[in-house]
Chain A
Amino acid sequence: AQKITQTQPGMFVQEKEAVTLDCTYDTSDPSYGLFWYKQPSSGEMIFLIYQGSYDQQNATEGRYSLNFQKARKSANLVISASQLGDSAMYFCAMRDPGANSKLTFGKGITLSVRP
């Protein structure tokens, strides 16, 4: 069974600094996808970044990058130049192999950006 682990308690970062949010995963399948979502206090789930298990390079999307360490089964999210609007809950998720598969989520990490 797929498992996603996010163990950091609430994280704090100073505005304009970088922050890393940790995520480890467990799967026996060679084909999988890893996602990060942001959930601000308004409640919607916002897609941030995706990494496929066979992707050779780490994914990047603007200020977001994914530090993918396949052998260690980690997929940490790096947010550069933090902004006040980055304060939110962040979820790491894994997509089951195969088409039309569900996402399995970690329990999330709360990030607070200090001015």
Chain B
Amino acid sequence: DTAVSQTPKYLVTQMGNDKSIKCEQNLGHDTMYWYKQDSKKFLKIMFSYNNKELIINETVPNRFSPKSPDKAHLNLHINSLELGDSAVYFCASSAPVGGGGYTFGSGTRLTVV
């Protein structure tokens, strides 16, 4: 069983389209995150939810809207996609404290053409 699973793994779409990425974790963690990894491999936090409540919302265009229907799921919807949105998006979840309780999904490579 995959601990943090994201779908799809690859997403190629045209500018202006709307797309969603789904994430699910079966670790029982309360907190989930979306990170963006740009073309230079830099990883930056976008959003964080704790038990369905938004707790971190970094400076992200409002075309990006996260949704957490329950604490095991965190989806990312992107409206009006732009070329600059091309990146790898990682979902992650964490336990409240300590080390190993921070787990990443395998990533979604989004390419906007």
The B interface is mostly helix, strand or loop, or mixed, namely strand
Q: Is the CB of A102 within 8 A of B56?
A: yes
Q: Tell me whether A50 and B48 are in contact (CB under 8 A).
A: no
- Given A52-B99, A100-B31, A100-B50, are A44 and B42 also a contact pair (CB < 8 Å)? no
Interface string of B59-85 (1 = CB under 8 A from A): 000000000000000000000000000
Point out the residues of chain A lying under 8 angstroms from B43, CB to CB.
91, 93, 103, 105
Contact indicator A105/B42 (Cβ below 8 Å): yes
Decide if A10 is an interface residue (CB 8 Å cutoff).
no
Chain A residues whose C-beta falls within 8 Å of the C-beta of B30 in the assembled complex = 100
A70-105 interface mask toward B, CB cutoff 8 Å, 1 = contact, 0 = none? 000000000000000000010101010001101111
Do B96 and A43 touch across chains, with their CB atoms under 8 A apart?
no
A99 to chain B, nearest CB (A): 4
Interface size class of A (residues with CB under 8 A): 20 to 34
Q: Please, which residues of chain B bring their CB within 8 A of the CB of A35?
A: 99, 102
Answer whether residue B111 sits at the interface, using C-beta atoms and an 8 A cutoff. Answer: no
Q: A51 to B100: give the CA distance in the assembly, Å.
A: 10
| Additional 7 contacts, C-beta under 8 A, given A100-B31, A108-B41 | A33-B98, A43-B109, A44-B107, A45-B104, A51-B99, A103-B92, A107-B41
